[in-house]
């Protein structure tokens, strides 16, 4: 059939439609068209290559011309459709498809990424370590269990610490349990697992994880205590360089740098980094320089100390002179810090006394006032006397002022009146006017023993004890030696009767203890006998053994006290004179807890056999001390003492 003419625009539109149908089918199926009748043959164009189809059958094979759809509308109707060139440009058609292809690719990749995130959500990235514990590839529960098991073992071990700048110190050891340190395994694992779209997290799963810090828990107060304890072991104050004399040689001691632990940094290490630090863990500390360095002290050594004792210093008083030797100068000199420097200090009193002693015709020391109890009834003050001396401060200042380059080492001083150290006014203010306590205890028939008591009472009578001073019987008696007038007499040693130098002085110890105790003095030291002697108050007595057992009390009143003691009429008498300040009430319980004597054997060479004596027992002694009705709790109180029985003694 002969085809009808086709409008050019209609032809293009139909060509596009026909091409699409030829490729994808009219309904989208990829099948070629089945009808080709009544379509005129046309030659292929460069844009539309000829298509052929071989048909099997009795008819001869013929070429199939290009498909040209029939025109279904009149040329007049085609005037309403504007011409278009889009379908004719394959580049533009590809450009239209690329955004969809790209979007599809993005969707595929995103889906794969999200799927991977879900897949890895419950797994620890491979290669991950927590405090050296390998956990890569484990799921969450397994990782938490492994971390807990391994960390518990690590935290149960002592941790060795070192401190910067403290190389001379031994290592310090702590235990994490001291401050309840623990690792939160769940929080630690959660920091590396769980669903996440983070590229860093995905990369860790693909390329491998890293070292992860544990999440710790601890007790803050216990940690602070632990850090303070470390600081107590490591901190040291800086030490200034110093100079001291060894004989006449000045010796320099070098300065030492101080050290202070950085507590904040230490707290951080112990609470956040304990398992990730190498052992021993080094803690930060700050050095503190001393005010006086070794170099500065060396200058003082060469400029001041060495010149001071290089030769004598001559002191001239009127027309008399004397020399202060290097030994005397070194004895009186010291170096102390002043405004960050070492400064020479000189004891002017010591040097002035040396000059005064060396010039007795020119200088006379003052005489102190004295207080004595006359006839055991009247306190008497002997007035003080001023002396003629040199100014101690003036002398010290002159010695310090000497320059190392001075060739003339002479100091000229004028004598001045100097008061006594203890003046009449001082004595009067002490208020020694009445007996505030007293006691007397009977002598034995041992005349040798009594000799020791006569010597002892003379040595300590009229002893003045000023407020806040402590009386020591051993010190007041002096050495208990034959040269000092004492003799050997009976004592109790190791529970047996024996002899020793000064035997019997325990009776004087008992008397002086009692006047102090009943006078309200503070009981510093006393010890009752091991056996009871009925010449003494039960429980309220004291023994004495030179170098081992002393009797001491302290004057706690605002007044001075004077001891008056003597031997007369078969007794040792003792009184304490002062102004009454304390009201004292003392009592002793009846004996209790009796223990009967037995027989003991004494193997000592000087053993003396004896029969059994009295039973042993316990007594309680109490005292209440008050002033103006107010009890002094420090001075009041009680004590108990148990006496051993007087056993029979055999010698073997």
DSSP code, position 559: S
Closest C-alpha among 196, 230, 191 to residue 214:
191
Average pLDDT over residues 72-86: 45
pLDDT digits (tens, 9 = 90+) for 55-64: 334 333 334 4
- Output the DSSP codes for 231-283: HHHH-B--B--EEEEETTEEEEE--B-EEEE-HHHHHHHHHHSGGGSPSSEEE
pLDDT at 69 over 70: no
pLDDT the model gives residue 10: 46
pLDDT, greater one: 473 or 487: 473
Average pLDDT over residues 141-170: 79
State the chain's maximal CA–CA distance in angstroms: 180
Residue 291: C-alpha distances to residues 285, 364, 414 (Å)? 19, 44, 39
- In sequence order, what are the residues at sequence separation of 6 or more whose Cβ sits closer than 8 angstroms to the Cβ of residue 233? 169, 172
Burial 582-615 (b: 16+ CB within 10 A, else e): bebebeeeebeeeeebeeeebeeeebeeeeeebb
pLDDT digits (tens, 9 = 90+) for 228-270: 999 999 999 999 999 999 999 999 999 999 999 999 999 999 9
pLDDT at 93 over 80: no
What band does 112 get if pLDDT is binned at 50, 70 and 90?
low
Nearest-5° angle of CA 505, CA 509, CA 515? 145
pLDDT the model gives residue 105: 64
- Bridge partners (DSSP) of residue 329 are none
Average pLDDT over residues 620-631: 98
pLDDT the model gives residue 141: 72
Average pLDDT over residues 8-29: 41
pLDDT the model gives residue 72: 45
pLDDT the model gives residue 28: 41
Contact 394, 413 (CB under 8 A): yes
Average pLDDT over residues 276-296: 90
Residue 330: C-alpha distances to residues 302, 307, 333, 403 (Å)? 15, 11, 5, 16
Cα–Cα distance for residue pair 225/235, rounded to 1 Å: 15
- Bridge partners (DSSP) of residue 525 are 552
Task: Quote the percentage of the chain above a pLDDT of 90.
Answer: 56
In angstroms and rounded to an integer, the radius of gyration of the C-alpha atoms of the chain is: 56
Cα–Cα distance for residue pair 547/552, rounded to 1 Å: 13
Tally of CB atoms within 10 A around 547: 7
CA 319 from centre of chain: 62
Q: Report the range of poorest mean pLDDT among 36-40, 255-259, 378-382, 450-454.
A: 36-40
pLDDT at 596 over 70: yes
What band does 110 get if pLDDT is binned at 50, 70 and 90?
low
pLDDT, greater one: 446 or 498: 446
pLDDT, greater one: 326 or 340: 326
pLDDT at 152 over 80: no
| 3-class DSSP assignment, residue 442 | strand
Can you name the CATH fold of 294-427? Ubiquitin-like (UB roll) (3.10.20)
Closest C-alpha among 226, 151, 223 to residue 187:
151
pLDDT at 153 over 80: no
CATH 3.10.20 in the chain is located at 294-427
What band does 33 get if pLDDT is binned at 50, 70 and 90?
very low
- In sequence order, what are the residues at sequence separation of 6 or more whose Cβ sits closer than 8 angstroms to the Cβ of residue 245? 251, 305, 309, 330, 331, 333
Angle formed by the axes of helices 447-460 and 505-518, to 10°?
40
Residue 41: C-alpha distances to residues 12, 66, 216 (Å)? 17, 7, 89
CA 103 from centre of chain: 69
Provide the pairing of β-strand 313-317 with 410-413. parallel
DSSP code, position 32: -
Tokens standing for residue 78: 């085609």
pLDDT, greater one: 365 or 99: 365
Closest C-alpha among 580, 493, 561 to residue 529:
493
Average pLDDT over residues 287-312: 95
Cα–Cα distance for residue pair 506/536, rounded to 1 Å: 10
Closest C-alpha among 560, 478, 557, 463 to residue 512:
463
Q: What is the mean pLDDT of the chain?
A: 81
Q: Report the range of poorest mean pLDDT among 73-77, 156-160, 270-274, 299-303.
A: 73-77
Cα–Cα distance for residue pair 71/11, rounded to 1 Å: 8
Tally of CB atoms within 10 A around 74: 10
pLDDT digits (tens, 9 = 90+) for 335-386: 999 988 999 999 999 999 999 999 999 999 889 999 999 999 999 999 999 9
pLDDT the model gives residue 491: 60
Contacts from 1-7 at CB under 8 Å and sequence distance 24+?
A: 1/37, 1/38, 2/40, 3/38, 3/39, 3/40, 3/68, 3/70, 4/70, 4/71, 6/68, 6/71, 7/71, 7/75, 7/78
Task: Quote the percentage of the chain above a pLDDT of 70.
Answer: 73
- In sequence order, what are the residues at sequence separation of 6 or more whose Cβ sits closer than 8 angstroms to the Cβ of residue 207? none
pLDDT the model gives residue 606: 75
Tokens standing for residue 640: 């108990």
pLDDT the model gives residue 16: 41
Angle formed by the axes of helices 90-120 and 199-207, to 10°?
70
pLDDT at 563 over 60: yes
Average pLDDT over residues 149-165: 82
pLDDT the model gives residue 68: 46
Cross-sheet strand order for the sheet of 320-324: 320-324, 313-317, 410-413
Burial 403-419 (b: 16+ CB within 10 A, else e): eeeeeebebebebeebe
Residue 543: C-alpha distances to residues 493, 530, 536, 540 (Å)? 11, 9, 11, 11
pTM for the whole thing?
0.56
Residue 511: C-alpha distances to residues 207, 472, 515, 577, 636 (Å)? 95, 13, 6, 14, 20
Tally of CB atoms within 10 A around 530: 15
Tokens standing for residue 167: 């190389």
pLDDT the model gives residue 78: 42
Residue identified by tokens 């995130």 is 117
pLDDT digits (tens, 9 = 90+) for 192-206: 664 444 564 445 444
């Amino acid at each position: 059939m002969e085809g009808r003419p086709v409008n050019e625009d209609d032809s293009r539109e139909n060509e596009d439609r026909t091409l699409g149908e030829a490729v994808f089918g009219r309904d989208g199926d990829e099948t070629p068209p089945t009808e080709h009748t009544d379509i005129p043959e046309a030659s292929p164009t460069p844009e539309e290559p000829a298509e052929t189809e071989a048909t099997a059958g009795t008819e001869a094979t013929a070429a199939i011309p290009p498909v040209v759809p029939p025109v279904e509308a009149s040329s007049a109707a085609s005037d309403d459709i504007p011409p278009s060139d889009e379908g004719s440009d394959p580049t533009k058609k590809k450009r239209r498809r690329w955004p969809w292809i790209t979007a599809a690719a993005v969707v595929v990749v995103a889906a794969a990424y999200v799927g991977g995130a879900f897949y890895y959500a419950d797994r620890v990235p491979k290669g991950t370590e927590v405090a050296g514990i390998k956990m890569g590839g484990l799921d969450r529960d397994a990782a938490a269990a492994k971390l807990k098991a391994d960390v518990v073992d690590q935290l149960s071990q002592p941790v060795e610490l070192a401190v910067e700048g403290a190389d001379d110190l031994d290592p310090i050891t702590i235990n994490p349990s001291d401050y309840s340190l623990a690792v939160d395994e769940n929080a630690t694992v959660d920091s590396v697992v769980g669903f996440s779209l983070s590229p860093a997290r995905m990369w860790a799963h693909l390329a491998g994880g890293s070292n992860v810090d544990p999440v710790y828990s601890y007790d803050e107060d216990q940690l602070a205590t632990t850090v303070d304890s470390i600081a107590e072991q490591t901190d040291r104050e800086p030490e200034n360089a110093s100079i001291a004399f060894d004989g006449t040689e000045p010796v320099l001691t070098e300065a030492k740098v101080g050290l202070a632990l950085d507590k904040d940094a230490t707290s951080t290490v112990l609470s956040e980094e304990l398992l990730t630090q190498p052992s021993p863990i080094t803690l930060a500390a700050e050095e503190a320089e001393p005010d006086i360095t070794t170099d500065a002290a060396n200058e003082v050594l060469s400029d001041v100390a060495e010149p001071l004792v290089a030769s004598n210093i001559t002191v001239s008083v009127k027309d008399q002179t004397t020399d202060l030797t290097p030994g005397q100068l070194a004895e009186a000199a010291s170096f102390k810090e002043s405004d960050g420097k070492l400064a020479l200090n000189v004891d002017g009193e010591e040097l002035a006394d040396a000059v005064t002693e060396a010039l007795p015709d020119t200088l006379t020391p003052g005489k102190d006032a004295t207080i004595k109890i006359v006839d055991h009834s009247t306190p008497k003050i002997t007035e003080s006397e001023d002396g003629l001396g040199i100014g101690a401060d003036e002398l010290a200042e002159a010695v310090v002022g000497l320059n190392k380059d001075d060739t003339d080492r002479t100091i000229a001083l004028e004598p001045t009146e100097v008061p006594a150290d203890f003046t009449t006014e001082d004595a009067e203010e002490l208020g020694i006017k009445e007996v505030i306590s007293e006691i007397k205890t009977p002598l034995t028939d041992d005349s040798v023993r009594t000799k020791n008591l006569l010597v002892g009472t003379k040595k300590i009578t009229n002893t003045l004890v000023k407020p806040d001073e402590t009386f020591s019987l051993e010190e007041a008696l002096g050495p208990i030696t034959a040269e000092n007038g004492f003799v050997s007499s009976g004592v109790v040693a190791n529970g047996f009767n024996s002899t020793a130098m000064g035997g019997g002085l325990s009776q004087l110890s008992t008397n002086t203890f009692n006047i102090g105790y009943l006078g309200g003095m503070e009981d510093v030291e006393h010890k009752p006998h091991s056996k009871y002697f009925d010449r003494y108050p039960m429980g309220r007595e004291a023994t004495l053994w030179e170098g081992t057992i002393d009797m001491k009390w302290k004057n706690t009143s605002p007044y001075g006290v004077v001891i008056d003691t003597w031997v007369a009429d078969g007794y040792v008498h003792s009184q304490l004179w002062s102004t009454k300040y304390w009201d004292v009430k003392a009592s002793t319980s009846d004996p209790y807890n009796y223990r009967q004597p037995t027989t003991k054997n004494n193997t000592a060479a000087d053993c003396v056999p004896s029969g059994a004596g009295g039973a042993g027992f316990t007594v309680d002694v109490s005292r209440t001390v008050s002033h103006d009705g107010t009890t002094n709790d420090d001075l009041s109180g009680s004590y108990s003492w148990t006496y051993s029985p007087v056993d029979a003694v055999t010698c073997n």
